[in-house]
Structure 1
Amino acid sequence: MIKDFVPKIKFQSMTFDKFIAPLLKLLPFAPELLSRGDRPLKMTFEDQIKALVYFHLQEHKSARHLIQDMKENAFAKQNIAPDDGISRSSFSEAVNHRGLEQLQFIFENLYKQAANVLPKEHKDLGDLISIDGSLIDAVLSMYWADYRKGSKKAKAHCGFNINSGIPSKVFLTEGNGGERPFIDQILAEGQTGVMDRGYQSHREFDLLQDANKHFVCRIKAKTTRTIIEKRPIAPDNYIFYDAVVLLGTPGQNQTKKPVRLVGYKIAGSKYYVATDRQDLTAEQIATIYKLRWTIESFFKWWKEHLKVYHLIARSEYGLMVQILGGLITYLLMAIYCHKEFNEKISIKRVRQLRTKILNELFQGQDNSGPTEDNNFKEQTKSFNAKT
């Protein structure tokens, strides 16, 4: 008896296609990903980056979870996985050894796209880049991720564009990696780095001024200072100090170039902020430092809702691949939320995006008759119930 022929149906989501469109437009211009030796690639770069975006968008918690989804979910199998499928070992080999140059290209150019379309806040304060590091829990087999005895951690050193609300740069080191060396690499000429006390470096303050890069950096209250010029302070103001000074001990670690020091008091706590910005009021300098919290909020949101620190790689190379995949997903979300809702990223909109994609696929299967994925509807119903 001959069985009835059931055509293979291509499951697509217009919402997912729209979400990933800015990325797909960049793919033809990315550096070519070549196979090592005579063996063909198990994953093209397009396969790899789609899998990474899908991993973060759908909050997968492990590579095993992602591979299983690409085998069993009709949409992921046809639109995310390579044509011949992918094994866990082949996926791990690809993530840990290939695609970093291409991902860096996509991230840098997608950032430019996002920065051009997203509205600019605080334009009157200049081009503000918050700089900070975030520790990533590692496993003991990640020998390169030195932190302390019995504990392995890596550290992501990030720049965050305060005006546009998006990450701008990222570097990766072991958990003990110094933070100050990355200031110059994160900042472009004319930008203002906004930093906490851990970045206080009198030598770095001089070098930044030489390079026409600006800074607003909290410093330790007990830092020695030589006053060059005191500026008037309005009575009953939360600003209690404004002066041009040389920071540090003469003959030891004193700045060669004068800096401006602003002191202000909030909720009983005193803050001293060093800057080279002479074009702003003391109140504006205080406001800029307060905006530093945006990078802390980004790290918290990024970890909680995109699962970027559920490791799918163990090598330093592979972890950087995963981090870039997470940043690219965040940029795509920022562009999507602005274009569709004229809003910033929120978990509400991200959940709506995920649900809409799955509902479109659910409806497509309802209209298509028999399919190869008998569990898909149950997966969709389960996801909708959770969200």
Structure 2
Amino acid sequence: MDKFTRKTSFEQWFSPLNQTLLEEQVKTHQLNYYTKKLYTASFLKLLLYAQLHETESLRALSDAVFSDDLQCATGLNSISFSQLGRRINTIPTEFFQTIFLDLVAQIHKKTDFEKRRKISTPLKIIDSSTLPLNLTNHTWAEFRKTKSGVKLPLRLVFMEKGFSYPDKGVLTNAIEHDRGQLEIFIDDKECMYVFDRGYLDYERFDRMTDDGYFFVTRLRKNAVVRVLESFTLPTHSTVLSDEMVVIGTTQNRSENVFRRLKLLDTKGKELTLLTNRFDLSADEIAEIYKSRWAIELFFKWMKQHLNIKKFYGHSEQAVHNQVYIAMIVYCLNVLAQLNSNSDRSYLQISRYLKAALWKSANIWLRKIKGKCVP
């Protein structure tokens, strides 16, 4: 990537977007029919720019087009905020979803996901986060008397050295329970699934075990458990107890046996874990569950550094579109790191990008690779 390029840093950053796929999607959804000015490609670039700069509104984005550099990048010399509003409310979410999944496929390829899974079992972490909305403007998403919200259930691929990235997400109203989303994310028998107690469902755990899926989750303290056998722990184990159990009451009891572990977290609080893996040591299971923290960090990063605090549109489609754009931006940062073999954090990559947005891509690439810029 050190070869001379006339691309700007902005163009280099979004270059992983598959242009052939974009054109196919535009044609499939007829997105440019009857369009005289704001074509889909230009609109997508504006939305990516808005995410990078955390632009607070479509009116502010409309004003930003005054920039000669942004005009050159988008092919627009001006655009009204009302036109932007109509676009974000009418483009189907499937369009942005397809782009996101294609970027995920590129990350899979770059990280040799299929090859690595033959060496060790990949971890896939499942959790959700609620994004608050204004009740007055988003009545379709009401879930409490005073507020509205959407929920983003997500699956995160967790690899060695803490590297992680989202590979599947859905959007629901915040009122929907997490438990109903679990089956959407369980689709690979060669992975280990990690999730919290919000997904507790004994019947589903039985089905997963019968079908050959492995998981580690957290068990509620008041869960009814019958201990069948206690396992001996190594002398220096961080785990307090390791047992083979049957979970549930007489009326609603699991058909399979599971493994229950008790351990202390970093704050000294006792945690109870449940898994259907008996071939790993107790400490290995404990370490696997600790990796669940990666998805908490992902949601925190998104909310702090991507533009999903204020939404550009009031419709369900507009809100969903903006969330998917945010995940596309995250994936582009991941690919920027992978393609340049950079050890910079995503935040550093994003900051350097904003500082060199309209400069030669070589300047940005050399900076994120840790080389001095002449």
Q: TM-score by structure 1 length? A: 0.82
Alignment of 1:223-242 (within 5 A): 223-242=223-242
Instruction: Specify every segment of 5 or more residues in structure 1 that has no aligned partner in the other structure, as ranges.
Output: 1-11, 364-387
Contact kept, 8 Å, 2:262 with 2:271, in 1: the verdict is yes
Matched letter for residue 282 of structure 2: A
Answer yes or no: is 1:153 the counterpart of 2:142: no
Aligned to 2:62: 67
- Partners in 2 of 1:196 and 1:125 — Cα distance? 23
Aligned to 2:290: 290
- Partners in 1 of 2:68 and 2:238 — Cα distance? 60
Offset of residue 286 of structure 1: 0.5
Offset of residue 37 of structure 1: 11
Aligned to 1:313: 313
- Secondary structure of 2:237's aligned partner: coil
Matched letter for residue 314 of structure 2: R
- Secondary structure of 2:272's aligned partner: strand
- Counterparts in 2 of 1:212 and 1:115: CA distance versus 1, 3 Å: same
Contact kept, 8 Å, 2:262 with 2:273, in 1: the verdict is yes
- Partners in 2 of 1:344 and 1:37 — Cα distance? 38
Which segment is superposed worse, 281-290 or 239-248?
A: 239-248
- Partners in 2 of 1:240 and 1:344 — Cα distance? 38
Answer yes or no: is 1:116 the counterpart of 2:112: no
- Secondary structure of 1:176's aligned partner: coil
Matched letter for residue 148 of structure 2: K
Alignment of 1:1-20 (within 5 A): 13-20=7-14
Offset of residue 41 of structure 1: 6.2
Contact kept, 8 Å, 1:33 with 1:44, in 2: the verdict is no
Matched letter for residue 261 of structure 1: R
- Counterparts in 2 of 1:24 and 1:124: CA distance versus 1, 3 Å: closer
Aligned to 1:8: none
Matched letter for residue 122 of structure 2: D
Aligned to 2:263: 264
- Secondary structure of 2:35's aligned partner: coil
Contact kept, 8 Å, 2:69 with 2:358, in 1: the verdict is no
Contact kept, 8 Å, 2:232 with 2:242, in 1: the verdict is yes
Offset of residue 276 of structure 1: 1.6
Offset of residue 110 of structure 1: 0.7
- Partners in 2 of 1:334 and 1:184 — Cα distance? 27
- Secondary structure of 1:198's aligned partner: helix
- Partners in 1 of 2:118 and 2:216 — Cα distance? 16
Contact kept, 8 Å, 1:19 with 1:336, in 2: the verdict is yes
Offset of residue 237 of structure 1: 2.4
Offset of residue 19 of structure 1: 0.9
Offset of residue 217 of structure 1: 0.6
- Partners in 2 of 1:316 and 1:184 — Cα distance? 24
Aligned to 2:173: 174
- Partners in 2 of 1:61 and 1:223 — Cα distance? 46
Contact kept, 8 Å, 1:200 with 1:219, in 2: the verdict is yes
Instruction: Specify every segment of 5 or more residues in structure 2 that has no aligned partner in the other structure, as ranges.
Output: 1-5, 364-374
- Counterparts in 2 of 1:302 and 1:36: CA distance versus 1, 3 Å: closer
- Partners in 1 of 2:294 and 2:46 — Cα distance? 28
- Secondary structure of 1:96's aligned partner: helix
Offset of residue 221 of structure 1: 2.1
Contact kept, 8 Å, 1:229 with 1:245, in 2: the verdict is yes
- Partners in 1 of 2:101 and 2:263 — Cα distance? 37
- Partners in 2 of 1:241 and 1:124 — Cα distance? 29
- Partners in 1 of 2:149 and 2:186 — Cα distance? 25
Aligned pair count? 348
- Partners in 2 of 1:353 and 1:38 — Cα distance? 33
Matched letter for residue 165 of structure 1: S
- Partners in 2 of 1:36 and 1:106 — Cα distance? 15
- Secondary structure of 2:54's aligned partner: coil
- Secondary structure of 2:15's aligned partner: helix
Cα RMSD for the two superposed structures:
2.6
- Counterparts in 2 of 1:144 and 1:124: CA distance versus 1, 3 Å: farther
Answer yes or no: is 1:135 the counterpart of 2:134: no
Aligned to 1:382: none
Matched letter for residue 330 of structure 1: Y
